[in-house]
Structure 1
Amino acid sequence: MAGTVRRAIRFPLWLVRVIWLLILPLSFVALGIWQEQRAAATLDEYRQAGQELPQVLAQLQQMEAKTPSAFVTMGGPDGRRMPVSMAVAGVRRAIDTMEEGAEVSRIRYPLSWGTMTGGLLAFLAGLSGLLAARVSALRARRSREALIRSFDRLRRGLPFALAAVLVGLSIASVSASLFEAASLWFWDHLSTSSVKLFAAAVMLAGLAAYSAVMAVIAMRRVFDLYTVEPLDIRGLVVSRDEAPGLWRFVEDLATRHEALMPDSILIGLTEGFFVTEAPVRPLGGERVLSGRTLHLPAPCLPLIGETELAAVIGHELAHFSGGDTTYSRRFAPIHAGLWRTLTALGERTGTGGFMLAPALHLGFHTLESFDLSVAQHRRQRELEADRRASLVSGPESVPLALLRNAALAPAIFETLNDAFSAPDTAGPDMMAEILRRVEDGLPNPAAHLDECQPHPTDSHPRTALRISTLGVQLDERLLARAARTPTAEDTSLPHRLFTDWSGLCHALTAAYLDEARQAHRLNREELEAAVAAVPAEHTVLYENGRPMIWAMAFIAALFAAFTIGTTVFGRELGLGTDQGTKAFIGAVAGVGICMALGYAAWVRHKTKAPLMTLTPDALISARLREPVAWTDVGGMQVSAARRLALVLALHEEAPLPNRIGFSIYNKVNRRERTVVLEAMGIRGMKAAEFEALVSRYLTAAYARRRLAGD
């Protein structure tokens, strides 16, 4: 929120990835080297002590037998001088603990190598992954075949690189933690070693178990990168019996384009024209389509025209010819699937995000390194498909199809959006409704020249670029042809392609409206749940002054203790019998006590009155003359640094409340339109609980308004 949130320092993405993938693993390697040196030195010390201490004990025992009252100096020339009996007892205790210390030292030594090995594994995997991504991306720019080969090799090795980074950092972090926990034994182990070791063992066992679980989950998700998830497309599959004319139309175009036939034809409602070799799952069904799938949007079929339809389908079938088939099968769906999988993995990390962050950075860097090559080859393949389609359907067929499709998009979108917003009032055939909306002509297609045709897994160049590449002059004549009113021949085309076009339109519309009604039901249930999350009665909140009262009581006690100390121990403090000085000190302390107790009494009185009252409709504050309606609040934030602060950002049209009296802690900023209410705390609540409570009231108010509007 403006004016209330500190601006965080943001590092460049490349630096963040270098830190995660190179500097962090190298830090573990350096830590492991240091730990190995410490472990080796400690182990040598215990080995040497194991040889020397028995000899020292024998010499001390001989001395004690001859001269029991003798004194010896232990620890070298600057050591401590003590009776020989005490020295014998100390050496015996050292010998008793020496074996245990040597065992701890032997345990620590391999842990240091675990830190080094894990860090080195993560570093090599990260460095190899970065270099492989760079080399593969450079090779991919040479040709489409090189792109496919490079990406295929890289995506096969990517899961192993991600797993190596994850496993390496897990081993390094756990080994380093266990090493340092074992080092606690050497800290005052004569008195509290058992407690320290037990606490450290419990914490590190939890860390090790958590890391192991996260590693298993991440490994499974990483190796799932081989699996291409099906595309969920809203549509109906049409067979040859249901659309004999369409299948003949497509077969004729495939023959003329020397392209492969699609295995399935899907008629949809909300997507555009496209082909894919990725698995497709029509919404509402469990069947997954495999092989080559051609998707056609039902709203365009009665409006685009036969020539333009042939050009569009020809363009899509061109992706099933030549080298484009390999690209469509081995690259496009897998590349899109990897993006979806990594994105989903990043969103589901939860509290284990720290463990998975380096692997995710490597995965995203690998995919992003192909962005330039992918964009280049996508542009080339789309322009090549346009060229092939224009050779078969005519030079102006593709530009007309692009312009007409773009001009139809607003009417189609508005019709679908209106039907989704009010499914109970929508007609049974949305294709007929779209036709009614464009019967007076289409808008000027020139307004859509900078747009790109939609695609669920791919992207297209701008329409203007595609037309200019074909060498067709974009003049008023071409624009007028693209914006023509649909003719009877255009609108009768679907009836020639399908055995029951009206039935198909009704089925698509019914499925879409059912989905809209289900979405409305779910949305209403969410709104009702939000409203029910706050009580109908008012919630009264009080300021938490107890910590301040106790603090003032403590300060008063300190003043009192100081006064008593100066009175009782005045002579020792050098005050002697100077009654004036004692009186002055007593007066100052008395003033301090009165001020502390007076402030505590004021805080206690102040906190007896409600700080704020939360009602279903508004927030009522003791610091504001007017309540703040929840629906006037555009955003809120709670911070708890020195004091608890509630910041409300009001809408532009919302009235600003007025403060009651003067306060340095409560502000109404008219320029930024924010209201800041501060307090020492909320009685019986932590800051996070208070923020959640206010958020529930705010959400409930907007939900109630939404429900009232329905």
Structure 2
Amino acid sequence: MSETDKKWMALAKRWGVLFGIPLLMLAIGVWQWSRADTPVSDVGAQIAEYQQVVRQLEAIEAEKPGRRATVRDSEGKEHPVWKVKNDYLMAIKDLQNQGLNVTTRNLQPVLAGCTIAFSVLALLWSALGMVYQRGMGAKAMQSREQLLATFQKGRKLLPTYMVVMVLLLFGAAIPLLVYEMMPILRHRNYSKGDMKLMFILGGLALFLLYSGCKVLVDVWKASRKPLENEPIDVMGQTVSRQQAPELWAFVDSVAAKTGAGLPDTLVVGLNEGFFVTEHPVQLASGALLPQGRVLYLPLPYLAFLNAGEVAAVIGHELGHFIGEDTLYSQRFSPIYSATIHHLVAISGGERYEESWMDILRRPATLFGEMFLDSFHEAVRYWSRKRELAADAVGAQVVSPQAVASSLLRISALAPLVEEALQANWDRGETVEGGVLGHVRQLVATKGMTDPSEHLDQRQAHPTDTHPELAERLAALGVPVSPELLARAMDAQGSPLLQEFGLEQGAPAAGSRTLAGAVAPAAVVDMNAALQNELSSAAAANRSAKLVELREIAALATPETVIHERSVFMMGLFCFLALACFGGAVALFIAGLHAAIGAGVLAGGVVCLWVARLFWRDGQSPAMVLQPAGVRLFNAQQLLPWSAIDDFQFNQANHMLTVIMALEPGVQPPAMGVGKRRAQFQKKKQRVVVMLKGVKKMKNQAFAELLVNQWRAYYARQELARMGERV
């Protein structure tokens, strides 16, 4: 399926939800309207009609005294005349007192009309929302100012829109439920089934009413939350002018060439890419940086970029200050956050649990998601333009070739930096040489990765969206030449860390970079300080992770054999077989309907055969759970746990259905049973197993056992990857 087809399919599903659910409610409302009894407008005429029926019943009763008289209804069923007469007398009394009979009859069309009216309003509300959203999306593509203005306006209108949508659907559902109570209320003699149905319908209606009020309260609370920018968590340390004068001089020279203002704070670290921000920033140490412009510089990349490439990258980042990109990002974040808060409130709050009411909430939450998606496209569009403009600023500082070289070299180095960071994080202690030393070792042994394989990738950034690498190079007008690739994959390091005074081994005298010569400063081994900080965090993370993984791995059992609990189904069909045999014998003895007796006898034989089938199902294992995987029925091989992506369990009518979603391309071993018990659905890439319960185990306990075995396998794999003995 092409991307265009997928897009249209997703759009069709969304329209199906937005308009399908109100249409379904409308159809039910119309059906109820057609079933509604005629309202009692002329009570006197109705009483006279009922009295006429009573006189007719009395005449029939007089012909057959002693309560032996009967009458047939429209379906041909016989009823005692005295009972029918009493029902009519009670109805006459009810009409004379304007009681339940009249009230329920008059309410039915009103309730059905309410369902229809609210459903139609919900349909119109959905259509209005779609038209308005498309209009706002088009405006957002005109300029960033329009984007911000329309998004801000949409954020204010969205909660009201979603609340109205939910209340309209709840307003359609409540009379729909109450309508079905009306015929029951007209009966004088309620059965237990009638009472249960009344409690269910009434309870659901009251719960919907409560939920509607709760939605109003939750959205009101969400709207009162202040729009705040949450701090960005960054692992790194600030560098002052006194600590690294050469670095600051270098940044000053680049800023002068761009015409952008200087950053207020320089932060260096090991585990991020280059970025600038005006968001609040909180360091891993807990320190909150002063509000202002922050420029983050990663040591692993500085160790392999030359001065021109670093100047191009910093020029690009400072270019975001020229276009006020960081300020726009800072203004968008709280709007996104507020929209998410309202979506959570509509969905049922932070302690949300899935329920049948999700069907009624879904059109509102889906509209909220579509609202975010439409503006995400606009944000992405303008972000892409601003990134290309920032690249142009970097090109002005040095050259387009320097920007292109820096982009390709960072892409070539990124996988090795990630590998070194992951190794340090897994070990929970400083690896030999630290992250920086490990990167240098990987470059020396493996060499740089080919950046031409990553032209469709985007560079990571905490707040903004970057275009693809190929698009950025094309905008710079720099082709991917062999010389450019050779530079990108050059394993030679850079002396900039020493020249900037960020790593031990700095020259004793002032160095010369693009900034020129400055007075030397006492070297602060910033790399060592950053490594200690990262290793400390990694050790704490590793310790907590190992405890969790060992707890999960301990849930595994050596081998567990699972048999189906077929006793109930076997007993049921044995009982049916005996009933059929008994009925057939009775028919034969009475000499009545020999053909029917033969048919009943044949039915008994079939029931007996089915009972034997269920008995055989319970004799052989349905599953064998082992540490490496699960053996299904008569399969000759295990289905590895690694082949299973997820589980789903459904229980109904003493049957337990286990759905195993498989990884793409996985073909499960043949199970040796028919589709009645298990099947592989190739199109959906899943195995469906139908069990008649589990012997000596509750279904919930079995589901937990199966999932725990699966989780334990992955826990053991992760422990092994982290170098721990399993």
TM-score under structure 1 length normalisation: 0.76
What code does the residue aligned with 2:383 have?
R
Q: d(CA) in 1 for partners of 2:562 and 2:479? A: 72
Post-superposition Cα deviations, 1:663-710, rounded to whole Å, max 9, x if no partner, equal 8978999x9999998765432456665444333234334544654662
Q: d(CA) in 2 for partners of 1:676 and 1:20? A: 27
Equivalence for 1:511: 533
In the alignment, does 2:368 pair up with 1:363?
yes
What code does the residue aligned with 1:562 have?
A
Equivalence for 2:320: 319
SS at match of 2:419: helix
SS at match of 2:570: helix
Post-superposition Cα deviations, 1:590-643, rounded to whole Å, max 9, x if no partner, equal 89878866885796688577666656577678856x784866865687788998
Aligned partners of 2:563 and 2:694 also within 8 Å: yes
In the alignment, does 2:499 pair up with 1:492?
yes
Sequence identity, in percent? 27
CA separation of 1:121/1:480 partners in 2, compared to 1, >3 Å: closer, same or farther? same
Q: d(CA) in 1 for partners of 2:81 and 2:634? A: 74
CA separation of 1:375/1:540 partners in 2, compared to 1, >3 Å: closer, same or farther? closer
Equivalence for 2:514: none
CA separation of 1:411/1:499 partners in 2, compared to 1, >3 Å: closer, same or farther? farther
What code does the residue aligned with 2:13 have?
V
CA separation of 1:101/1:350 partners in 2, compared to 1, >3 Å: closer, same or farther? same
Q: d(CA) in 1 for partners of 2:33 and 2:617? A: 61
In the alignment, does 2:575 pair up with 1:553?
yes
Which of residues 456, 469, 476 is equivalent to 1:470?
476
What code does the residue aligned with 1:529 have?
E
Aligned partners of 2:235 and 2:271 also within 8 Å: yes
CA separation of 1:354/1:515 partners in 2, compared to 1, >3 Å: closer, same or farther? farther
CA separation of 1:688/1:148 partners in 2, compared to 1, >3 Å: closer, same or farther? same
Q: d(CA) in 2 for partners of 1:676 and 1:473? A: 52
SS at match of 2:99: helix
CA separation of 1:645/1:426 partners in 2, compared to 1, >3 Å: closer, same or farther? same
**What is the deviation of 1:402?**
2.0
Q: d(CA) in 1 for partners of 2:438 and 2:650? A: 52
SS at match of 1:358: helix
| Structure 2 counterparts to residues 564-575 of structure 1, below 5 A | 564-567=586-589, 569-570=590-591, 573=592
Aligned partners of 2:580 and 2:601 also within 8 Å: no
**What is the deviation of 1:317?**
1.7
What code does the residue aligned with 1:374 have?
V
Paired residue total: 674
**What is the deviation of 1:201?**
1.9
Post-superposition Cα deviations, 1:548-592, rounded to whole Å, max 9, x if no partner, equal 23312321332123212321x22xx277xxxxx99xx79x98898
Aligned partners of 2:166 and 2:212 also within 8 Å: no
What code does the residue aligned with 2:500 have?
L
Equivalence for 1:6: none
SS at match of 1:556: helix
Q: d(CA) in 2 for partners of 1:60 and 1:285? A: 87
SS at match of 1:505: helix
What code does the residue aligned with 1:510 have?
N
Post-superposition Cα deviations, 1:390-442, rounded to whole Å, max 9, x if no partner, equal 22334543223223322332332222122223233614642244345446985
CA separation of 1:113/1:291 partners in 2, compared to 1, >3 Å: closer, same or farther? farther
SS at match of 1:351: coil
In the alignment, does 2:412 pair up with 1:407?
yes
Which of residues 359, 378, 403 is equivalent to 1:398?
403
Q: d(CA) in 1 for partners of 2:313 and 2:153? A: 33
What code does the residue aligned with 2:304 have?
L
Q: d(CA) in 1 for partners of 2:345 and 2:273? A: 25
Q: d(CA) in 2 for partners of 1:254 and 1:10? A: 43
Q: d(CA) in 2 for partners of 1:396 and 1:652? A: 43
Equivalence for 2:545: 523
Equivalence for 1:418: 423
What code does the residue aligned with 1:95 have?
K
Equivalence for 1:134: 134
Q: d(CA) in 2 for partners of 1:63 and 1:437? A: 103
Aligned partners of 2:219 and 2:345 also within 8 Å: no
Equivalence for 1:176: 176
Q: d(CA) in 2 for partners of 1:380 and 1:203? A: 52
Q: d(CA) in 2 for partners of 1:86 and 1:651? A: 66
CA separation of 1:348/1:257 partners in 2, compared to 1, >3 Å: closer, same or farther? farther
CA separation of 1:404/1:345 partners in 2, compared to 1, >3 Å: closer, same or farther? farther
What code does the residue aligned with 2:359 have?
F
Post-superposition Cα deviations, 1:73-94, rounded to whole Å, max 9, x if no partner, equal xx9xx9x999999969834542
**What is the deviation of 1:526?**
3.1
Post-superposition Cα deviations, 1:127-150, rounded to whole Å, max 9, x if no partner, equal 333222211222233333333333
Equivalence for 1:376: 381
Post-superposition Cα deviations, 1:305-345, rounded to whole Å, max 9, x if no partner, equal 33322222221122122454653343477458857986999
Deviates more, 1:638-647 or 1:274-283: 638-647
Equivalence for 1:273: 274
Equivalence for 1:5: none
In the alignment, does 2:14 pair up with 1:17?
yes
SS at match of 1:320: helix
Aligned partners of 2:300 and 2:417 also within 8 Å: yes
CA separation of 1:564/1:702 partners in 2, compared to 1, >3 Å: closer, same or farther? same
Aligned partners of 1:126 and 1:161 also within 8 Å: no
What code does the residue aligned with 1:407 have?
A
Post-superposition Cα deviations, 1:483-513, rounded to whole Å, max 9, x if no partner, equal 5523435642243899787543233323333
Deviates more, 1:492-501 or 1:558-567: 492-501
| Structure 2 counterparts to residues 241-252 of structure 1, below 5 A | 245-247=246-248, 249-252=250-253
| Structure 2 counterparts to residues 413-492 of structure 1, below 5 A | 413-424=418-429, 426-427=431-432, 429-438=434-443, 445-472=451-478, 475-483=481-489, 485-489=492-496, 491-492=498-499
Post-superposition Cα deviations, 1:427-469, rounded to whole Å, max 9, x if no partner, equal 4642244345446985665555444322223222333433343
Q: What is the RMSD of the two structures over their aligned residues, measured on CA atoms?
A: 5.3
Q: d(CA) in 2 for partners of 1:365 and 1:514? A: 42
What code does the residue aligned with 1:466 have?
R
Aligned partners of 2:228 and 2:334 also within 8 Å: no
Aligned partners of 1:549 and 1:603 also within 8 Å: no
Deviates more, 1:171-180 or 1:611-620: 611-620
Q: d(CA) in 2 for partners of 1:101 and 1:338? A: 49
What code does the residue aligned with 1:454 have?
A
Q: d(CA) in 1 for partners of 2:316 and 2:175? A: 58
**What is the deviation of 1:219?**
6.1
| Structure 2 counterparts to residues 61-460 of structure 1, below 5 A | 90-91=88-89, 93-96=91-94, 98-104=98-104, 111=111, 115=115, 118-119=118-119, 122-186=122-186, 188-192=187-191, 196-213=197-214, 216-217=217-218, 220=221, 228-238=229-239, 245-247=246-248, 249-283=250-284, 285=286, 287=288, 290-322=291-323, 324=325, 327-331=328-332, 334=335, 350-352=353-355, 353-424=358-429, 426-427=431-432, 429-438=434-443, 445-460=451-466
Equivalence for 1:695: 707
